[in-house]
Amino acid sequence: MTGRRLPRIAALSGPEAGRARHVLVHSPVHTGADAVTWTLTLLAEDDVPLAESRTSAPDYPLPLADIAQVHLDVVGLSTTGPWVPQPSEDGAPRFRAPVGATRAPRDVA
């Protein structure tokens, strides 16, 4: 998203994760006959990217919540509202949902 390499979502400290306000799920990229790779980006209130992770899943429709929650759990976040389609520069669908703390995030020393 930014041209610079972002940390993985799991690498965020508690205060960094606490800044997250939205999760963005990019369109999947086919990585094999039966799999796709999804990119997830955590955004701060001002839409500045905080972290990004990738995950592979079978090539069939999965709820976006299932794809994202695995990464959000690690830093004590969950979606707090609906997934909303977002326009993208390449015309491929992307989705955005608000996030909030589910527990006190761990602080990485």
Distance set, CA 29 to CA 20, 47, 55, 59 (Å): 25, 23, 10, 10
pTM for this prediction: 0.82
What percentage of the chain exceeds 90 in pLDDT? 52
pLDDT 10s digits, 12-55 = 999 999 999 999 998 888 887 788 888 999 999 999 999 999 98
